[in-house]
Chain A
Amino acid sequence: MIPELGNFFLIMAFINAIFLGVLSFVGAQKEHKGLMRFSKRASISSFVLILLSYICLTVSFITNDFSVQYVANHSNTQLPIYYRISAVWGAHEGSLLLWVLILTGWMAAVALFSKSLPKVLVTRVLGVMGFIAVGFIAFTLFTSNPFERVFPFIPIDGADLNPLLQDFGLIVHPPMLYMGYVGFSVVFAFAIAGLLQGDLDHHWARWSRPWTTVAWIFMSLGIALGSWWAYYELGWGGWWFWDPVENASFMPWLAGTALIHSLAATEKRGVFKSWTVLLAILTFSLSLLGTFLVRSGVLTSVHSFASDPVRGRFILVFLGIVVGVSLLIYAIQSSKIRSKANFGLFSRETALLFNNALLAVVTFMVLLGTLHPLIQEAFTGGKSSVGPPYFNLMFSIFMIPILILMPIGQQINWKQEPIKPLLTKYWLWAISSIIVGLAIVIIMGDLQPMAIVGTTLGLWVLAGCAKYVLAQASKSDSFSAGLKKISRSYWGMLVAHLGVAVTVLGVVLTSYFSIEENIKIRLGETVEVEDLSVEFYDFKNTEGPNYISSGGSFKVSSDGELITKLHPEKRKYNASRMVMTEADIDAGLFRDIYIVMGEPLDDGAWAISVHYKPFVRWIWLGTIFMALGGLLAISDKRYRQRRREKKQAKKDQVQSAEVSGE
């Protein structure tokens, strides 16, 4: 009964979304008040209907309703309740429902939080989003319905959730990522609505900015969570593999990052309007492309969903329609967009242009590397691979100029700045970065040229942020008064750029100075790994809720002093019979010690892997800073001010109404 109800809500939502899409456009065209009001209400009701449908699926999971195919395939009576709730998005069908839930959630948010915006524009935005929702709900209903039943032979127990997904990181990672992917649909919808209207003034950029930033924050955190999860769960100590599915999320993130920067220029100076709009379209298109790559199975990847060709074809057609139609609208309407302001060669506008050019090329490079094997196979039939060596090299080539320009770009003035004083301001900071970078690399041990370059650049960006704060503070009478003068959005930028520096340092230092050794060790034995001595002091078999675990206990010490005790495990899951390694990690701000259990060897010894990973936490710490920067930026006064103005306006209205009433 409950699954049918879920299905019913889904169908209702589908019909609702069709009406939303069609009637919004009609309403906006005719400026019909009733239809515009309908558009808002229909957005909210779409969300409510999908939420109800989603709850139905969750209930089916909680009550172990194995007559539902999807539940039977991805759950089990032994599965703890919290994993049963998160198993809803553990595979293709359910995660698609989550995707639609989030999409309609964004839609409802736009409907609710855009009271200060022109009604016609909002109606068009909701219309565009409504059509996107139609596409995705149709995809769910017709190719991947999670409510399908398996009558009459109902399985007694389910096949269990993939053990890889039975983990906290994987509970949070997909929703975060989807918030980002789908969040870019808002700025996309704004772009299309603006194009259709033919007037994209700076208001357009101001309205789109916070939505874009919020989506970007979620996406950043989602990607970082995925990377962190891979690090501790997959058991080989890596944190980024340039896997097609990772690239699928990285591309919209890169494009979104470019978009955030060009939106800033568009809002403040009215420049690059046409490019910004195109970028908004491309960012969401890359989100859709990512969905296609992940769910169609055209790419071989470690963690894409198993899938059938119908789904791939559906998404491909949908992608083609969305990209085709939006580029067509762009082609017809973009000539109406005029950017006004002039700017000199040495100006923030130019710096942002470079930022966008570089980020666009990096995005293109990732896209090319991801699709190249496919394209080549289609043309020549030969199978080829593009992997980390290519991506790492190419990514570094383009990251170097980005990082060099970052501190200059964030301080240079809009419009025009003489170049000479600018350069004299920086040389001291540049030289100090090089010296400190060199010192760090010498302390870490190995004088590798790329490690020196990377460390120096990280420090250079760090120094740039410090320099900016110092320069602002020295303009005022006291330090704290100077700090107060820096606006929230500027703090946001600084903190986000600081995050970039932290991530860069983490990536470089971990990549070049990690120690990884596989050793043979017997119970009671002590083995030296570089400066660490590892003692295998205990071994136990224990039983978990749905698995049996063999766990070793290790003391790690250095110079006779105990640093930590680690308890890595090997788990065998009862239902799926899969064996998983659970690494144990002693995490620290400056280094992680990471032990993984391997196989028992013939002579009673165990093979274990010991990793020493300096600064690995900085990779994710930096992402947290980036997200915080985003939060600061959207909490800036000028967004709140509008609200205050609005409240004031309302008060005035009420007062005048009262006056006229008297």
Chain B
Amino acid sequence: MMKTLFTALIVMMSFQLQAVIETYEFETPEQEQLYTEIINELRCPKCQNQTIAESNAGLSEDLRYIVYQKVSQNQTKREILAYMQERYGDFVLYDPPVKPSNYFLWFAPIIVFLIILAAVLTKVGRRRVKGEQSESGEE
């Protein structure tokens, strides 16, 4: 099982070295901006670790075209991402959705920070009290 996984990884190693340059035309600059934003947040489903904006695999090319069409039809970002998620799973979303299985990912750093903060403040507070005591003790 592990072996096939690794072989698959090695096969996928083949680099895409060329920059992707396509010249889609949009009705409004907002549409173009939305298009760029979306293709930079979608992961190419069969590449190593690339957005569909960077990858020039055939599949990415098709996906970019789909995004282009949907943007031109004035669909929202949410709709387009939902469409992609439905077909390719969470894997294509570089922006992990906030849902129970991702709660740890999204909230752990903040909780850890609050814990450290509380620990630091109580420690400093205790130290200060001790410091004052020892100073008064010297008097």
Residues of A within 8 A of B (CB): 162-164, 234-236, 243-244, 297, 299-302, 306-309, 342-345, 350, 353-354, 357-358, 360-362, 364-365, 368-369, 372, 376, 380, 382-390, 394, 397-398, 516, 518-520, 570, 578-581, 583, 596-599, 601, 607-609
Contact = CB atoms under 8 A, between A and B. Distances in A.
Contacts of A518: 21-24
Contacts of A387: 41, 43, 51, 94-95
Interface string B92-121: 111110000110111011101100110010
Given A300-B49, A357-B116, A385-B96, A390 B105 contact: yes
Nearest to B54: A236
Given A342-B131, A398-B113, A162 B6 contact: no
B18 interface: yes
Contacts of B117: 357
Interface of B: 2-3, 6, 9-10, 12-13, 15, 17-24, 36, 40-41, 43, 48-51, 53-54, 89-96, 101-102, 104-106, 108-110, 112-113, 116-117, 120, 124-125, 127-128, 130-131, 134
Nearest to A350: B124
A622 B86 CA distance: 43
A244 to B, nearest CB: 7
A384 B94 contact: no
B14 to A, nearest CB: 9
B94 A368 contact: no
Given A297-B6, A581-B18, A609-B19, A306 B13 contact: yes
Contacts of B40: 388
A368 B105 contact: yes
B110 to A, nearest CB: 8
A38 B15 CA distance: 48
Contact of A384 (B9, B91, B120): B91
Contacts of B22: 518, 598, 607
Q: Which 9 A-B pairs have the closest CB atoms?
A: A387-B94, A598-B21, A235-B19, A342-B131, A389-B95, A365-B109, A383-B91, A384-B90, A607-B21
B17 A580 contact: yes
B48 A300 contact: yes
Contacts of B43: 385, 387
Contacts of A345: 124-125, 128
A579 B18 contact: yes
Nearest to B9: A297
23 contacts: A236-B19, A300-B49, A301-B49, A309-B3, A342-B134, A343-B131, A350-B120, A353-B124, A357-B113, A357-B117, A372-B104, A376-B101, A386-B96, A387-B43, A387-B95, A388-B94, A390-B94, A397-B110, A518-B21, A518-B22, A580-B18, A581-B19, A598-B19
Contacts of B102: 372, 384
A234 to B, nearest CB: 7
A301 B43 CA distance: 12
A386 B12 CA distance: 19
A358 B50 CA distance: 29
Contacts of B101: 376, 380, 382
Contact of B36 (A306, A397, A516): A516
A236 to B, nearest CB: 5
A386 B90 CA distance: 10
B53 A578 contact: no
Contact of B17 (A164, A308, A398, A608): A164
Given A306-B13, A369-B105, A578-B15, A385 B93 contact: yes
Given A385-B94, A390-B106, A570-B18, 12 more contacts: A163-B17, A299-B49, A300-B9, A307-B6, A343-B127, A357-B120, A361-B113, A364-B112, A368-B105, A389-B41, A580-B18, A609-B21
Nearest to B111: A361
Given A244-B49, A369-B105, A388-B94, A309 B6 contact: yes
Nearest to B88: A383
Most B CB contacts (10 A, CB to CB) among A357, A361, A376, A607 go to A361
Contacts of B41: 387-389
B102 to A, nearest CB: 8
Contacts of A300: 9, 12, 48-49
A579 B17 CA distance: 7
A397 B109 CA distance: 10
Nearest to A363: B109
Contacts of A376: 101
Nearest to B97: A384
Contacts of B50: 302
A450 to B, nearest CB: 14
A136 B40 CA distance: 38
A236 B128 CA distance: 54
A386 B94 contact: yes
A562 B22 CA distance: 27
Contact of A390 (B12, B54, B89, B96): B96
Contacts of A357: 113, 116-117, 120
Contacts of B13: 306
Contacts of A353: 120, 124
Contact of A382 (B15, B90, B109, B125): B90
- Between B6, B18, B22, B51, the greatest number of chain A beta carbons within 10 A of the residue's beta carbon is seen for B18
Contacts of A235: 18-19
Contact of B105 (A234, A361, A386, A609): A386
Nearest to B133: A342
Nearest to B16: A302
B95 A390 contact: yes
Nearest to B117: A357
A344 B128 contact: yes
B21 A596 contact: yes
A372 B106 CA distance: 10
A383 B89 contact: yes
Given A350-B124, A516-B36, A596 B95 contact: no
Nearest to B128: A344
A235 B127 CA distance: 54
